Structure 1
Amino acid sequence: MELRQLQYFVQVAKLQHVTKAAEALHVAQSAVSRQIHRLEEELGVRLFMQKGRNVQLTPIGQLFLRRAEAILSDLDRSVMEIQEFLDPEVGEIRLGFPHSLGIHLVPQAVAAFRKLHPNVKFRFRQGMFASLIRDVIEAEVDLAFISPYPDKNENVSGEVVLTEELFAILPESHPLALENSIRLIDLKDENFVLFNSGYSLRMLVVDACKEAGFTPKIAFESEETDTIRGLVAAGMGVSLLPEMALFQTSSMMPASVKVTEPHVTRTIGLIRRAGEKKPAMVVQMFHSFLLEFFKNQYKTR
């Protein structure tokens, strides 16, 4: 079976006329008839039946048409993907990231990249630490921002692009809200508003509190940075959030205070599949751009 036979078959099926199909394909009518006949012989079935001057699909022809169209569609998509792979200016980048980076960092980086390459498309996927690792390994995304950087996972490779400080967030009416800095132990009697289980920021805060000498009392849990900020601002508790999660995005914003003893930070990494030798050119270009972007825009430690 030849690709040309499928193309001729689909065209005849759509137009229900051999001559019109030949004209649309810019070939002789005899060539179309010959290829359709060979296709029917190879399949051992009749795909068309005559209906006046037109032709009409047989029931088995209707079934075969769906399959043939799917094959040609997949082929067209493959050709397009190859063209995009080779041309970084028209490709697509699949980028994963945790929710906390979607407020400021990811939009800022993507916007800066698209100023230079406006035709590049992006497909985003947000997730938690484990799901982002899985998405990278299973090739659901090309690159992913992740925190903390998974330096012991052999299935991914990458680099730390940013080390970010975490700040205590308090209701504006809190007695410590106007301090320049506080020790984490100062919050041992407070209710904490934290991310749900499975989020890396939750474990980071819990571990920091234990290092300070206490286990935090978790009063509220959420999956959204905005919700945590809002609950703290409303006086429901305290929390720790990264600096980039504290940009003004609503009318209800908590006070933020530097934390000492311990100094709490998180690493942000950029990861990809380990051992991948030839990612699409647009992905290579974006990866190089991001490394330079963080080098110029942020302090990388």
Structure 2
Amino acid sequence: MELRQLQYFLKVAQKEHVTRAAEELHVAQSAVSRQIHQLEQELGVDLFVQKGRNLQLTPVGQLFCKRVESVLKELDRSVAEIHEFLDPELGEIRIGFPHSLGTHLIPTIVAEFRQHYPHVKFRFKQGSYHSLIKDVVSGEVDLAFISPFPDTDVHVTGDIVMTEELFAILPQNHPLAGESLIRLEQLKEEKFVLFSEGYSLRPIVWQACLQAGFEPKIAFEGGETDTIRGLVAAGMGVSLLPEMALFQTNPLQPAQVRIVDPTITRTVGLIHRADEKLPLVAHSFRTFLLSYFRLRENDTPVG
């Protein structure tokens, strides 16, 4: 069994088509077909079955595919570790984060880290709470910022790096927009613009409203901070956002007001797989991040 056979097999499994797989691999279609045929002969099983114009994995093919994906990921990781051992500054850091941290925090910390390690590469992936945990567990990313910190998940481990306050955001012409402090109860008759199901800020806002004695009336839902902020600024409702998500990125901005009853916060954590040693360059980045947040713990909010 050759490495090339496994690579060709995985690409065909992903594309469900020999021609498309060959195009992406930049080889002849006949070469891909031959390698798949030889692999099936060596294993003594059919890995694919024809379905219309596409190929589908057989049940045994699906089982084999999972193992091959794992093997090739480990191989890629081993090669990366060798390169990092020879020169840690030439490595790549794969990091995931929620949308609310993408506007200011991620660019800020990456820029500061690259002042010390200018040749390190970054691969970024945004996602929701559950997708970020999945990406860490599967090895898709090395590290992920996540909120709230998943202290009950045995597959990941990490540290809480900061606790962040949530503010009310209102249209600029809202009667409460000029206030310095409000109680959340004062928004009980308002329509809310909330994150969609699966985003961690939604249950935080929902629970805070219930604590204040009401269930929020949903006017609109969205998946990105800019969308939430823009809809509120356009007068479509009110919402709650963490301070990190309030940095201005366009001229149309909502008013922001501190909430005192109840005070609403979220934890932001940095996680990685519980059963795996981080690559050298990712370990260096994690050490930098923990120091970064410790130094700012007693200062003004990050950003």
What TM-score does the superposition give when structure 2 sets the normalisation length?
0.73
SS of 1:168's partner is strand
Which residue pairs with 1:10 in the alignment? Answer: none
Aligned to 1:100: 100
In the alignment, which residue of structure 1 is the partner of 2:46?
none
Q: Residue 275 of structure 1: CA displacement?
A: 2.5
> 1:63 Cα shift?
5.5
Alpha-carbon distance in structure 1 between the residues aligned to 2:203 and 2:111:
31
Asked if the contact 1:162/1:299 (under 8 Å) is kept, the reply is no
Give a deviation string over 1:149-207, Cα, whole Å, max 9, x none. 00111111001001000000001111111111000000000000001111110111000
- Are positions 1:287 and 2:286 aligned together? yes
- In 2, the alpha carbon distance for the partners of 1:146 and 1:2 equals 39
Structure 1 residues 78, 104: closer, same or farther in 2, change over 3 A?
closer
Alignment check: 8 A CA contact 1:171 1:237 kept:
yes
CA deviation string 1:48-86 (max 9, x = no partner): xxxxxxxxxxx99x957xx9xxxxxx9x96775233331
From the superposition, tell whether residues 84 and 187 of structure 1 become closer, same or farther in structure 2 (CA, over 3 Å). Answer: same
Q: For residue 71 of structure 1, what is the aligned residue in structure 2?
A: none
Displacement of 1:251 in angstroms is 0.5
Structure 2 SS opposite 1:89: helix
The residue that corresponds to 1:131 in the other structure is 131
**AA of the residue aligned to 2:295:** N
Could you tell me which residue of structure 2 aligns to residue 154 of structure 1?
154
2:242 paired with 1:242: yes
Structure 1 residue runs without a partner (length 5+) = 7-58, 68-73
Moved more, 188-197 or 84-93: 84-93
The answer (yes or no) to whether the contact 2:156–2:272 under 8 Å persists in 1 is yes
Contact 1:93–1:121, Cα closer than 8 Å, also in 2: yes
The answer for unaligned runs of 5 or more in structure 2 is 5-29, 39-72
Which residue identity lines up with residue 219 of structure 2 in the other structure? A
Q: Distance in 1 between matches of 2:126 and 2:251?
A: 25
CA distance in 2, matches of 1:205, 1:95: 26
Kept in 2: contact 1:232–1:254 (CA 8 A): yes
Establish whether residue 173 from structure 1 lines up as the match of residue 173 from structure 2: yes
Q: Tell me what 1:85 maps to.
A: 84
Name 1:296's counterpart in structure 2. 295
Partner residue in 1 for 2:200? 200
Contact 1:92–1:123 under 8 Å retained in 2: yes
Q: Given residue 119 of structure 1, which amino acid in structure 2 is its aligned partner?
A: H
**Aligned pairs for 1:183-198 within 5 A:** 183-198=183-198
Corresponding residue for 2:11? none
Q: Counterpart of 2:283 in 1: which secondary structure? A: helix
2 CA distance for matches of 1:128 and 1:253?
Answer: 24
In structure 2, what is the equivalent of residue 141 of structure 1? 141
Write the distance in 2 (CA, Å) between the matches of 1:2 and 1:243. Answer: 53
- 1:48-67 to structure 2, matched below 5 A, reads none
Shift in Å, 1:296: 1.7
CA, structure 1 residues 121+193, in 2 after alignment: closer, same or farther (shift >3 Å)? same
After superposition, give the CA deviation of every residue in 1:103-161 in whole Å (9 maximum; x if it has no partner): 11111111110111011011111111011111111111100000000011111100100
Root mean square deviation, CA, Å: 2.9
Task: For 2:217 and 2:297, locate their aligned partners in 1 and report how far apart those are by CA, in whole Å.
Answer: 34
The structure with the largest alpha-carbon Rg is 1
Number of residue pairs aligned between Structure 1 and Structure 2: 240
CA 112–95 in structure 1, closer or farther in 2 if over 3 Å, else same: same
Q: Report deviation, 1:280.
A: 1.2
In 1, distance between residues paired with 2:203 and 2:77?
Answer: 43
Are the counterparts in 2 of residues 206 and 215 from structure 1 also a CA contact under 8 Å?
Answer: yes
- Shift of the 78–154 alpha-carbon distance from structure 1 to 2, 3 Å rule, reads closer
CA apart distance, 1:295 = 1.3
Q: What is the correspondence of 1:259-298 to structure 2 with a 5 Å cutoff?
A: 259-276=259-276, 278-298=277-297
SS where residue 88 of structure 2 aligns? coil
In 2: Cα distance, 1:215 partner to 1:280 partner: 45
Residues 1:169 and 1:78: Cα distance change in structure 2 (over 3 Å): closer
Counterpart for residue 257 of structure 1: 257
